[in-house]
Structure 1
Amino acid sequence: MEHCIVYFSSSVGQFQEEDLDTILQQSRRNNARLGVTGMLLYVRGSIIQVLEGEKETIEALYKRIEHDERHTNVSIGINRPIAQRLFADWSMGYETITTRQLEEIKAIVDVDNRQESEVDSQEPIIFKTLKVFYQGNRYN
């Protein structure tokens, strides 16, 4: 059974473009080796990352991320089995998002209470999160 972890964190300081390039290259290489897929969203020091794969693998990866000195305030928004991967072809997709989009995503995933909002409870939370991201970017 596939598993998904979505977490929020803050970077220690603002990442520069070369910092992000280094992180992405390393993540893509490691994730491909581990069979992990996902997406990284970044805006002015705030991070949302989706990790998909075997449960033990992504839980171990999350623990490493949680202790990575480049992150603070690491908090899980989603930690659950999934029927299929949404990012099966991406060892690590990457996008920057606006501050407004980040707040909309945080409103959908209640980070403090670790539960889904009441909005359309039949729709998987990962779809809701990505829908907000898509809607904010489709005309940009």
Structure 2
Amino acid sequence: MLKYLSYASKEAQHFSEEDLKQLVEQARANNERLEITGLLLYFDGTFTQYIEGPPAHIDALFQTITADPRHEFIVQLSCGITENRKYKEWSMGYKNYDQIEVAEILNYPNFNPDRIFRNYIPHSGNPGIILLDETRKQ
């Protein structure tokens, strides 16, 4: 039995390319050790992430994320139990999108990342969940 969870957050401080690279490298190392897989997306100061793994490890990781001062306005988008991993090949997949790419993927002209936070009912077709799913298909 595995737990999955997705969330969106805003950066509380600007992340440079180097900051993002270090964050992803640290996540990959920690996730391999904890048997967590997933995908992290970054665009326009917004993070969207899907993680899956042993329930206790997912709960602990999400507590760490919510306590991390580099994130603010954290919104849980989905959470549940599954038998199969979506991202078994990635300890932490990563993609840095620009706003135009996100708008094209979501088919939202002039997409504003705040839409993710206004429509955050779990499993509701939230743009953040759609973006994670579409990125996985690529």
Q: Give CA-to-partner distance per residue, 1:99-137, whole Å, 9 cap, x none.
A: 352794956x931x33424xxxxxxx96x54444468xx
Letter in 1 for 2:38: G
Q: CA, structure 1 residues 64+54, in 2 after alignment: closer, same or farther (shift >3 Å)?
A: same
Match of 2:124 in 1: 116
Q: How far apart are the structure 1 equivalents of 2:94 and 2:83?
A: 23
Letter in 1 for 2:99: T
Relative to the length of structure 2, the TM-score reads 0.78
Match of 1:2 in 2: 2
Q: How far apart are the structure 1 equivalents of 2:122 and 2:4?
A: 14
Q: Tell me by how many angstroms 1:87 deviates.
A: 0.9
Q: Tell me by how many angstroms 1:88 deviates.
A: 0.6
Gaps of 5+ in 1: 118-124
Report SS of the residue matched to 2:48: strand
Alpha-carbon RMSD? 2.8
- Structure 1 moving runs of 4+ over 4 Å: none
Match of 2:91 in 1: 91
Match of 1:39 in 2: 39
Match of 1:61 in 2: 61
Q: How far apart are the structure 2 equivalents of 1:85 and 1:133?
A: 15
Q: Give CA-to-partner distance per residue, 1:47-99, whole Å, 9 cap, x none.
A: 00110101111011001000100000011000111231111121111001233
Name the count of aligned residue pairs: 127
Q: How far apart are the structure 2 equivalents of 1:38 and 1:52?
A: 6
Letter in 1 for 2:44: R
Q: Quick one: percent identity of the two aligned structures?
A: 30
Q: How far apart are the structure 2 equivalents of 1:133 and 1:28?
A: 18
Q: CA, structure 1 residues 129+21, in 2 after alignment: closer, same or farther (shift >3 Å)?
A: closer
